[in-house]
Structure 1
Amino acid sequence: MGNFLIVSAGQSLREALSVAENNGVDPKAVLDMLTTAPTLFPSPIYQGHGKRIVEDTQAAPFRQRKIPLKDVSLFTKTAQQVELSTPIAHLLSDLLRSDEARA
């Protein structure tokens, strides 16, 4: 479950920084604003992954999609065993598969 949350956080952060950059806003400034205490996300997940995203988008976390895809799939299978719906996990799985196909 923790890995599912890490993948979710990393994907969301990557998208947010990409939107900032493509709108002419320095992604490093956005990352600093989001992760420097006291703020919304002063945590190692956002700080560490965000730093790698900002420094080199090609070396961004989750560039290698197989492990995050495996983790999201395991999360989904676990939820299915007790008949729970996991729409975010399904969306993440679709995004990771799409990114893997483009790589």
Structure 2
Amino acid sequence: MECPSLAIFLFLLVLVAPTNHHHHPHFSIVVVSSAAADTDSLNRTSFPTGFVFGAASSAYQYEGAANVDGRRPSIWDTFTNKYPGRIDDGSNGDRGVDFYFRYKLEGSAGE
């Protein structure tokens, strides 16, 4: 059975994985060599002892547009703007990937 969502998840995991092992010395990445993974035989014993599963999602990187159309800054918006030195690259989510302003353009592609 093919599972493209697993392949997409693993691809995204590699994109967001920390590259500075000084801060995350025990972080490791598992890369699937195929675009579609066979998950029929995948279970807990497929992973090493002590492997910790985790998942996360965040609108912060996507939305941007704090203080636009009634949106108020989140705690993280406030923190990254008030203390930019506490973020490794000094970035913040003021624009993110700019989904807030681009979502209508995305929907009109091909029209």
Same fold at TM > 0.5: no
TM-score for the superposition, normalised by structure 1:
0.28
Which structure shows the bigger proportion of residues in helix conformation? Answer: 1
Bigger CA radius of gyration: 2
TM-score for the superposition, normalised by structure 2:
0.27
Q: Which has the higher contact order (CA 8 A, sep 6+)?
A: 1
